[in-house]
Chains A and B, each alone.
Chain A
């Protein structure tokens, strides 16, 4: 049984691409380390190194269906971070994401929230127009003290960065609590702003 040093929860409506996001991240890793368990894409644990130390990150996928909404509390209990996903092309999913976030804020104050707009490639390719502007989402994220990122599981855009950022932010404080010397900094993102609010 693989233990994990900290857990990250994926939240979001159905079909926003939570599982794809995780798959993308895990599969990138699979290519170099194919010993991971592939039968299910609901849970994944992978080692991630940050600041010269290795940690095991457990990623929990959740069922996004409305009917299981009541149970989500069980999932994000004790989670260090929650990635709240929404579909960039579907406004409804963004509204749902807001719901999740308020829930989270009420129940797990320590949990860091990462707002993640998925399917960036669809928007970039012009197949669908974005349902909401980048600025609006970013503004919302700032308002709740969350990080906002736009990712594409198809191209792998920002996927690795997102998880790395989570690792950096979640692990270090607990490890270096004594020093109090570590400051969180915004990650250097070129195209997509990745904001961090403390």
Chain B
């Protein structure tokens, strides 16, 4: 084989020819020193003869060259070496003579080697062990003699096959094996073994021997199976373009079930190569074919006939392109128990497989009902048919993917719809809410507007009614304060707060005066009046506190707050002036805990800082506080009345303190109340406004004081601001 193959690798044929000068026309072999086998043997014989003679010659040579010591030493050494070699050769020759197999020495040893080998295999290979175990029960039911006999047969077969595998043709091997099966069968018959047991024992023998001898029998070197394998593989690869339609094969490629079955049958067919025993290979084919019938059943709609089956099988073989297909087929045909298996179902399917392979091998344009040219084009790969199995599969996969996506999209669409609905609902509710809110707001505004209008009107009125407001001032605060201050001082003295007195007194004045004015002009809130009177302790606070309560009521309603904010525009700067003191107080109050007392306490502190001018500090501080949102919110209502006062600026400046106090209280004491307060309180606010008016009028009169305080106030404000921070 090697000699046959090697030429392909060499370039020049002349180089390969036998080296001998005799002009031998055979090819040489590197193993044989470049001679052909014939010449090599001749050459060797000649050499041997030469060597036999050479020792004598060598001896004589050594003698002749004994003159030079150096050459002698070399010759001696060489002689020793030669002697050794000769001894070895002689021993070998002796051995050869004894064995009397000199010519076939290599063969005989190889036979002995391989002959011994299979027996160890029997024990070692796990596969063989498994087969032994599988059939242990069947074998156990045999009589010991028969078992021994069977074992003998098996061993005999293994030995003979192993020894001859490389020498005899595959057909002879096949004959040997088939004979072995027949002998076993007869032997079983002779022992009167029932059919079932016989079958299984035969099965065992076949499986066992074939597994053991698989290496020797599968694709034996004497055959060209391997080349055929490659050829069919290449052929199938070339025919890759053939699809079910070309074969008139009714495979419903688009059905998923069918597709799965196609894949299973392909896998089954591929599995044939991995099996060792022929019946297992056959079983793989049967499995594959049954799957083909199944897929045909679903494609055709009923049991498929051979007319449908064979094309389908061809198709499957083409798509599977199984490894070593030819070798496997030959292995099964040669070494399968033909009488037993080849007539049954397995045989039928196997025959079909052979048919399919033969069809593939001999496929022509005619057999596919294609024009010759087209076939050639397909085969050479010039043209690729549009509807190959792969493209169909790809398309199908694409389509199925599309469907999946469509389903997913549908789902998403639904979800989106529900989300949209939800948003719509939410929007509606929001709109409704907004609408309701608007309504509510309008409703409330309708109520609050009154106050606004009144407040707005008030200023306008005030502007016009300047003379009227001027009428109010009569209660001159300084005087009243003086009286009040005395009372307060006395009271405060009892309370041990000397420092506070001046501030308080001064502070109280306007409030008291206002109260009086209010009380006279318009009836203030019921609660307002009694408080200052009843609570002696809070009397100090009364002016502020009373206002605070009334103002609380006013401020409580958000509407009013809004109104206040609106009104702020006018008032801002002015109203702020007086406010600050109070707010700073409130801050301190809140920190202190109790609102009324601390406020006063803080006030005095401020005054201490400012030392002399408590009132001035008041307004100054208010200016600062005006920046704070609370003051802004709270201010307007009181302010409005202020504006109408005689001098816009002056009135504003004077009025705030009261308001500020009220706001302070409202924040510090009862924020919660703010909300709860009824709109009706607006009336009270009105009253308070009216009070303020009065007060503003007073303030207007007092006007001079805030004007003076302006600069100094700023300083005090800063201080006051700093205090709460501290």
- Cα distance, A19 to B199, chains bound together (Å): 31
* Smallest CB gap from B349: residue in A: A43
- Cα distance, A78 to B282, chains bound together (Å): 18
Contacts of B348 in A (CB 8 A): 7, 42-43, 58, 60
Let me know if A197 is at the binding interface, CB within 8 A. no
- Cα distance, A58 to B347, chains bound together (Å): 10
| Stretch of A61-69, A110-118, A136-144 at the chain-chain interface | A61-69
Contacts of B341 in A (CB 8 A): 1, 3
Contact between chains at B343 and A78 (CB < 8 Å): yes
Contacts of B290 in A (CB 8 A): 39-40
Contact between chains at A39 and B294 (CB < 8 Å): yes
- Cα distance, A71 to B347, chains bound together (Å): 15
Let me know if A23 is at the binding interface, CB within 8 A. yes
- Shortest beta-carbon distance from A45 to chain B in Å: 6
- Shortest beta-carbon distance from A27 to chain B in Å: 10
Let me know if A41 is at the binding interface, CB within 8 A. yes
- Shortest beta-carbon distance from A189 to chain B in Å: 27
Contact between chains at B343 and A58 (CB < 8 Å): yes
Contacts of B306 in A (CB 8 A): 10, 18-19, 41-42, 60-64
Let me know if A2 is at the binding interface, CB within 8 A. yes
Contacts of B293 in A (CB 8 A): 39-40, 42
Contact between chains at A41 and B303 (CB < 8 Å): yes
Contacts of B289 in A (CB 8 A): 40
Chain B interfacial residues counted at CB < 8 A: 41
Contact between chains at B355 and A4 (CB < 8 Å): no
- Cα distance, A62 to B309, chains bound together (Å): 9
Scoring B residues 320 to 359 as 1 if CB is less than 8 Å from chain A, else 0, what string do you get?
Answer: 0000000000000000000011111111110110110011
Let me know if A155 is at the binding interface, CB within 8 A. no
- Cα distance, A75 to B356, chains bound together (Å): 12
Using A1-B279, A39-B293, A70-B358 as known contacts, say yes or no to A45 and B344 having CB atoms under 8 A apart: yes
Candidates A4, A23, A63; contact of B310 at CB < 8 Å: A63
Candidates B199, B248, B297, B352; contact of A39 at CB < 8 Å: B297
Contact between chains at A1 and B344 (CB < 8 Å): yes
Let me know if B362 is at the binding interface, CB within 8 A. yes
Contacts of B354 in A (CB 8 A): 71, 74
* Smallest CB gap from B292: residue in A: A40
Let me know if B531 is at the binding interface, CB within 8 A. no
Contact between chains at B355 and A68 (CB < 8 Å): yes
Candidates B297, B303, B358; contact of A71 at CB < 8 Å: B358
Let me know if B305 is at the binding interface, CB within 8 A. yes
Contacts of A78 in B (CB 8 A): 342-343
Contacts of B572 in A (CB 8 A): none
Let me know if B220 is at the binding interface, CB within 8 A. no
Contacts of B307 in A (CB 8 A): 14, 19, 63-65
Contacts of A40 in B (CB 8 A): 289-290, 293, 296-297, 303-304, 309
Scoring B residues 268 to 304 as 1 if CB is less than 8 Å from chain A, else 0, what string do you get?
Answer: 0000000000010011001001100110110000011
Let me know if B367 is at the binding interface, CB within 8 A. yes
Let me know if A99 is at the binding interface, CB within 8 A. no
Contact between chains at B359 and A68 (CB < 8 Å): yes
Scoring A residues 29 to 56 as 1 if CB is less than 8 Å from chain B, else 0, what string do you get?
Answer: 0000000001111110100000000001
Contact between chains at A23 and B344 (CB < 8 Å): no
- Cα distance, A45 to B344, chains bound together (Å): 7
Contact between chains at A58 and B345 (CB < 8 Å): yes
Contact between chains at B340 and A3 (CB < 8 Å): yes
Let me know if B647 is at the binding interface, CB within 8 A. no
* Smallest CB gap from A67: residue in B: B367
* Smallest CB gap from A62: residue in B: B306
Let me know if B311 is at the binding interface, CB within 8 A. yes
Using A42-B304, A63-B306 as known contacts, say yes or no to A75 and B347 having CB atoms under 8 A apart: no
- Cα distance, A43 to B345, chains bound together (Å): 7
Contact between chains at B343 and A3 (CB < 8 Å): yes
Most buried by A among B306, B344, B349, B366: B306
Contacts of B294 in A (CB 8 A): 39
Candidates B283, B311, B345; contact of A63 at CB < 8 Å: B311
- Cα distance, A52 to B140, chains bound together (Å): 33
- Shortest beta-carbon distance from A17 to chain B in Å: 10
Contacts of B279 in A (CB 8 A): 1
- Cα distance, A68 to B360, chains bound together (Å): 11
Contact between chains at B344 and A19 (CB < 8 Å): no
Let me know if A5 is at the binding interface, CB within 8 A. yes
Contacts of A1 in B (CB 8 A): 279, 282-283, 286, 341, 344-346
* Smallest CB gap from B282: residue in A: A1
Contact between chains at A61 and B305 (CB < 8 Å): yes
Most buried by A among B248, B304, B344: B344
Contacts of B367 in A (CB 8 A): 67
Let me know if A6 is at the binding interface, CB within 8 A. yes
Contacts of A6 in B (CB 8 A): 343
- Shortest beta-carbon distance from B704 to chain A in Å: 120
Contact between chains at A42 and B358 (CB < 8 Å): no
Scoring B residues 183 to 227 as 1 if CB is less than 8 Å from chain A, else 0, what string do you get?
Answer: 000000000000000010000000000000000000000000000
- Shortest beta-carbon distance from A20 to chain B in Å: 9
10 interchain pairs (CB within 8 A)? A2-B344, A14-B307, A18-B306, A39-B294, A42-B305, A43-B348, A45-B344, A45-B345, A60-B351, A68-B310
Having A10-B306, A18-B305, A42-B352, one finds 10 other A-B pairs with CB under 8 Å, namely: A2-B345, A4-B343, A40-B290, A40-B296, A41-B303, A42-B348, A56-B344, A70-B362, A75-B351, A78-B343
Where the two chains meet, the residues of A that have a C-beta atom closer than 8 Å to any C-beta of B are 1-7, 10, 14, 18-19, 23, 38-43, 45, 56, 58, 60-65, 67-68, 70-71, 74-75, 77-78
